[in-house]
Amino acid sequence: MRIIKLTESTRQNILENLLKRSPNSYGQFEASVAEILANVKENKDKAVFEYTEKFDKAHIDASNIQVTEEEINEAYGLVDEKLLTVIRKALVNIRTYHMKQKQYSWFDSTEQGTILGQKVTPIEKVGVYVPGGKAVYPSSVLMNIVPAKVAGVSKIVMTTPPGANGKVNPTTLVAAKEAGVDVIYKVGGAQAIGALAYGTESIPKVDKIVGPGNIYVALAKKAVYGHVSIDSIAGPSEILVLADETANPRYVAADLLSQAEHDEMASAILITTSEELAQNVSVQVEQLVQELSRKEIMEKSLENYGYILVAETMEDAIETANEIASEHLEIVTKDPFNTMTKIKNAGAIFLGEYSSEPLGDYFAGPNHVLPTNGTAKFFSALSVDDFIKKSSIISYSREALMEIHKDIEDFATSEQLTAHANSIRVRFED
C-alpha cells in the first residue's frame, strides 16, 4: 500500500478522490434507469417480466413471480445446518440491540388544560431490496428486515433477482424467513425499485424502500425518492483504521483487506502516528493479499482507494478521520475509548484490537447498513427510527387558549396571514 505523509494538501486530494466513488458521480447511467422506471410505471408486470428475462435470463410471469412456501421449505433443505444456527444466533443479537431503539408515544398535560405529545406510528408497508447473482448477503437480509419488524411494520415485501433457473438463492430465502419477511418476489435491478415504488399487478406499492444494490439500484432509489421514502443512496464500502504504535500490524492489515475485498471501488485507509506501524502494515497487506481468494479485487481497490497516512499528531489523525467520515472506523490506540470521544463523524465505531469490522457485519447486533461517502456527517446507521413516523399531538382547552390567543393573533398578523389570526379570533367573539 502507498504510504503518504499527512498534510493539508494530501488530505484534500484524498477527499476529492474518495468522492469520485459516490453514486452521484455516475450520471451516465441515469438515463437508462429513468427509462426502466418509466416503463415499469406504465406497463407494470409486463415490463418487469421483460427486464427479468433480459437481465437475469429467467422466465418469470404472474404465476411464479412470488416465492412459494414450498420453495422456502426446499431452501431450508439446501442450507447448511451450521450456517442456519449462526443466522439464528445473529438474529438474537440484532433483535436485542434494535429493541433498545424502540420509541413510544408520549403525552404531557398541564393544569391549564393543555395536552402536548408525540404519536409514534410504524410505516405500514416497506420494501426490502436484496442483491442476487454472485452477491449473496444473508447478513444484509437480517439487518434490513429486523429493525422493520421491531418497529411494527405491517407488511414487509422483499424483492431479489432470481437465477436463470427462476430460483432465488436458498440462503437468502432462509434468512428472510427467519427474520420475518411477509412476501418475497423474484425481481431485481432498477425494475424492482420501480415495482416497489409504483406498484404492479403482482407487486404492491410500498411506502419506503431499503436495502443495498448496484449503481442501477442506487440511482433508481434516488429517482423514486419523494414518491416513496428510501433509507439512503449507498456507495461502495469503506474502512478507516485510526492507530498508534500499540496496534498489531497484522490485525490492521487484515481489517483493511476485509473491506477492500468487497469491490474495486471499496476504500481502505490507515491513519497512524507511527511510521514503523505504517511500514509494517504495508508489508503485511502485501503478504495477506497473496493468500486470500479475492486477490485481483483487493489489489485494484487498494490501487484506487487504499492509503496509509502518517500524521504528525493524533489530533491531526482524528481531524482527518472526521473529515473523511468513514462508514466503518476502527480505533486501535492505547486508549481507544478516549480517542472515540473526539470522533464526530463515523457510521460505526469499533474500539480495540479485538473489535474488528466483520464483528459488526455479521454478529454483534448493531446495524451494518451505514452511511458512506462522507454522509456520516449527517446520516446514521439504519435503525428502528427508519421505520416509524412521529405525529405531533396538540390539545388546548378554551381556558388555556384564552390566555394566549392575543399572542397568536399578533404573530399571525405580523406575517400578514389574517386568516390565521382570524381562525383564533373567532373563538372569542362576543
Catalytic residues: 327-328
Q: Which three cell numbers stand for residue 257?
A: 483487506
430: burial class by Cβ within 10 Å (0-12, 13-18, 19+)?
A: exposed
Q: Are 10 and 16 in contact (CB under 8 A)?
A: no
Q: Are 302 and 268 in contact (CB under 8 A)?
A: yes
CA quadruple 141, 142, 144, 146: dihedral, nearest 10: 150
Query: Using CA atoms, how far apart are residues 250 and 285, in angstroms rounded to an integer?
Result: 8
CA quadruple 87, 182, 162, 72: dihedral, nearest 10: 60
Q: Which three cell numbers stand for residue 412?
A: 399571525
Q: Please count the other Cβ atoms lying within 10 Å of the Cβ belonging to residue 111.
A: 6
Residues in the chain: 430
Query: Using CA atoms, how far apart are residues 174 and 210, in angstroms rounded to an integer?
Result: 19
99 to 106, 123, 177: CA distances (angstroms):
18, 17, 19
CA quadruple 226, 229, 231, 234: dihedral, nearest 10: -30
